[in-house]
């Protein structure tokens, strides 16, 4: 999957087509992992509430 832009490269951006793909992949991977962690915590809390694990 390629991406073409007429904008100049950002200062400090990695050079080369592979570097930009790699950084975009890592950002999306971190985003997916963070979303999965939030989902796990929410399901754990919901399960605890449903099974009455938490003291009142």
pLDDT on residue 15 = 62
- For residues 23 and 30, the answer to whether their CB atoms sit within 8 Å is no
pLDDT in tens, 7-54: 776 676 656 555 566 677 788 888 899 999 999 999 999 999 999 887
Backbone angles phi, psi at 15, to 5 degrees: -95, 155
pLDDT on residue 16 = 58
pTM for the structure as a whole: 0.53
- Whole-Å CA distances, 34 to 13, 21, 28, 37, 51: 24, 20, 10, 5, 26
Per-domain residue ranges for the chain?
21-56
pLDDT on residue 23 = 79
Rounded-to-integer distance, Cα 17 and Cα 52, Å: 52
């Amino acid at each position: 999957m390629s991406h073409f832009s007429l904008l100049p490269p950002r200062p400090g951006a990695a050079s080369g087509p592979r570097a930009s793909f790699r950084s975009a992949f890592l950002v999306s991977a971190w985003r997916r992992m963070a979303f999965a962690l939030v989902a796990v915590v929410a399901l754990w809390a919901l399960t605890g509430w449903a099974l009455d694990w938490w003291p009142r």
